[in-house]
A = this chain, B = another copy of it.
Amino acid sequence: MTTSELQLATTSAATLSTSSTMKALVYHGPGKRAWEDKPRPAIMDPGDAIVRITTSTICGTDLHILKGDLPVVTDGRILGHEGIGVVEQVGNGVSEFHVGDKVIISCITACLKCDFCKRGMYSHCLRGGWILGCTIDGTQAEYVRIPQADGSLHIFPAGGDEEALVMLSDILPTGFECGVLDGQVKPGDAVAIVGAGPVGLAVLLTAQFYSPAAIFMIDLDDKRLAVAKKFGATTLINSADGQAAHRVIELTEGAGVDVAIEAVGIPTTFDICQAIVAAGGRIANVGVHGKPVELHMEKLWDRNISLTTRLVDTVTTPMLLKVVRSGKLQPSKLVTHRFAMNDIMKAYDTFGNAALEGALKVVLTNSGPR
């Protein structure tokens, strides 16, 4: 597409600021990040939208990137895959969103047209999936370009709360789809969630949509467990003594749990899950794993269990929005700290010391159009 075509492909936006730079949080290789000037993004494809970010947040995955764990993320990349903002420009292939719309940005980009998207597996979209703040520039900035905008944005509901709804970019659909839906939580179930970090807590909040009878929350950190209690966990288990699995089996009178949800991503926590799942139960993996685990097929082969893995598809975001609007889910509970976007370097420090700081989700707010 030529430059002139691109100009034609964009809807003119009277409110568009004339400045051509913006501030953004940029990754510069392992351990290095900076809040610095970057060119403001522009429409590159008819399906693109340019969104002015009003609220964003930091994900545990951003910390992984900063450690250098994801080589696919390269020097110069703007981080962030969560955000709320206002549409500033749309390509002429965008039909669902218009300049001025307030939107929730999904962490998953979906073209809606490929075989995976048609099957509801946006996570594996042939043109998208998780690319934002990973292989293309992300949302921890003043502006972001959202490709495949029609499949990757959601209208922000009138009267909504930005810091609550930014949790719908990633963490709530992740907890709900990978943990609760794949785990098939049912009324009366005994559920164990291994890991009381933000995503484990998102599992906890959304598991309650289905009225399980018991939710065991397992973590090493008593402060996080205390939060879990407030969020609805029925039993807290500190796994520091290595007896967590044993305790769950005891508490369930030898049966184990109907659903064991792994929300950490290491062999130790995975092991707890396979030790506590009841015959006929489900293990739903949410955690991001860096190495293989040992699966005890010699014990599990005749236990009639299922194990699922999933990268979030964000197909349930419309459903989650309805539940939030009905008041049955209060995602703002997850927010512990608030910063101006300009203070994002400090926000990263806080979030990077989550245990010490008692941090769950750290909300970042842009003050408005420059």
Contact = CB atoms under 8 A, between A and B. Distances in A.
Interface of A: 5, 8-9, 46-47, 92-93, 95-96, 111-121, 123-124, 150-151, 182, 186-189, 208-214, 234, 265, 270, 279-280, 285, 287-298, 300-311, 313, 315, 318-323, 325-326, 328-329
Given A280-B116, A309-B303, A95 B111 contact: yes
Contacts of A95: 111, 113
Given A93-B93, A188-B319, A304 B311 contact: yes
Contact of A301 (B304, B309, B321, B329): B309
Contacts of A187: 209-210, 319-320, 322-323, 328
Contacts of A300: 309
A49 B212 CA distance: 33
A323 B8 CA distance: 43
Given A92-B93, A113-B112, A151-B113, A291 B298 contact: yes
Contacts of A298: 289-292
B124 A280 contact: yes
A235 B234 CA distance: 31
Copies of this chain, complex-wide, total 4
Which of A120, A213, A311 lies at the interface centre, i.e. has the most chain B CB atoms within 10 A of its CB? Answer: A213
23 contacts: A5-B92, A9-B92, A92-B92, A93-B93, A96-B113, A113-B150, A116-B279, A121-B304, A182-B306, A187-B328, A188-B321, A188-B322, A188-B323, A208-B211, A213-B328, A287-B301, A290-B298, A291-B298, A292-B295, A301-B309, A303-B309, A304-B308, A306-B309
A328 to B, nearest CB: 5
Contacts of A329: 211
Contacts of A310: 302, 304
Contacts of A93: 46-47, 92-93
A120 to B, nearest CB: 8
A305 B310 CA distance: 7
Given A113-B95, A304-B124, A304-B310, A315 B213 contact: no
Given A96-B113, A116-B279, A293-B295, A311 B302 contact: yes
Contacts of A307: 306-308
A325 to B, nearest CB: 7
Which of A113, A119, A301 lies at the interface centre, i.e. has the most chain B CB atoms within 10 A of its CB? Answer: A301
Given A96-B113, A112-B113, A124-B280, A211 B213 contact: no
B309 A213 contact: no
Given A116-B280, A293-B297, A305-B308, 6 more contacts: A95-B113, A121-B279, A123-B304, A124-B304, A213-B325, A304-B308
A105 B29 CA distance: 49
Given A279-B116, A319-B186, A270 B297 contact: yes
Given A113-B112, A297-B293, A306 B306 contact: yes
A304 B292 CA distance: 16
Contact of A305 (B118, B151, B304, B309): B309
